[in-house]
């Protein structure tokens, strides 16, 4: 009986290397074809793991993403994507609106989740960002940052960069009205 795996299942192999101290490190590497480049050559994605089973699971997940049409080889971070989105929005919205988007991104979004990869962004990241913004400023500021991020990520979904918008799973905070200061004579 043949031990070959079916076509399109990817390649899994062990890689060993000797460290400077003489110990041997063994890791497993898996590769799968995810498409073709402009010159016709196959475009491959590589995953790594400590065990063969771990690498095969990663390859299966990657193959599901490719089959479902949600795979993206884009490795940009949230801050890189938002910078591009903000440049495009400059042409679409008024100056004041653009300034508000820019302030929300600079003050609230990038400091908290700017280093997260766009593909790895989850609702928990967004909730954490909103909690930190609400603690430091107000619930309204957190809601505005959420709205800006949702607007940007809706475009990322339309462009096929992410499968779904992680902001959709996060509820807005309640509005806390300011108590007016009434001056006396």
Q: Which CATH architecture has domain 78-169?
A: Orthogonal Bundle (1.10)
Domains of the chain by residue range: 11-59, 78-169
10 Å CB burial of residue 43 (0-12, 13-18, 19+) is: exposed
Give the separation between CA 110 and CA 77, rounded to whole angstroms. Answer: 10
Q: What is the pLDDT of residues 57-66, one digit of tens each?
A: 988 888 887 7
Find, among 40, 67, 75, 51, the residue nearest to 162 by Cα. Answer: 75
Find, among 89, 77, 134, 85, the residue nearest to 108 by Cα. Answer: 134
pLDDT value of residue 95: 93
- Helix, strand, coil tally for the chain in percent (to 5): 50, 15, 35
The enclosing H or E element of 174 equals none
Decide if pLDDT at 113 tops 90.
Answer: yes
Q: Is the pTM of this model over 0.85?
A: no
pLDDT value of residue 83: 92
Query: Six-digit token pair at 19?
Result: 């460290």
Q: Are 101 and 93 in contact (CB under 8 A)?
A: yes
Lowest mean pLDDT among 56-65, 67-76, 151-160: 67-76
Find, among 158, 149, 154, 139, the residue nearest to 79 by Cα. Answer: 149
Q: Which residues pair with 28 in a beta bridge?
A: 14, 49
Cα angle: 66, vertex 122, 29; to 5 degrees: 45
């Amino acid at each position: 009986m043949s031990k070959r795996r079916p076509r399109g299942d990817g390649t899994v192999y062990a890689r060993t290397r000797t460290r400077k101290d003489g110990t041997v490190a063994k890791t497993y590497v898996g590769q799968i074809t995810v498409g073709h480049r402009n010159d016709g050559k196959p475009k491959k994605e590589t995953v790594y793991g400590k065990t063969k089973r771990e690498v095969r699971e990663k390859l299966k997940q990657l193959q599901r993403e490719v089959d479902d049409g949600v795979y993206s080889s884009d490795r940009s971070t949230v801050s890189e994507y938002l910078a591009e989105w903000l440049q495009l929005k400059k042409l679409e919205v008024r100056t004041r609106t653009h300034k508000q988007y820019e302030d929300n991104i600079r003050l609230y979004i990038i400091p908290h989740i700017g280093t997260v990869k766009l593909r790895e962004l989850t609702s928990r990241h967004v909730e954490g960002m909103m909690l930190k913004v609400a603690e430091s400023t107000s619930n309204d500021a957190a809601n505005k940052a959420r709205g800006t991020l949702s607007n940007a990520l809706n475009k990322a979904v339309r462009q096929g960069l992410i499968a779904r918008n992680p902001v959709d799973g996060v509820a807005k905070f309640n509005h806390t009205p300011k108590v007016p200061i009434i001056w006396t004579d």
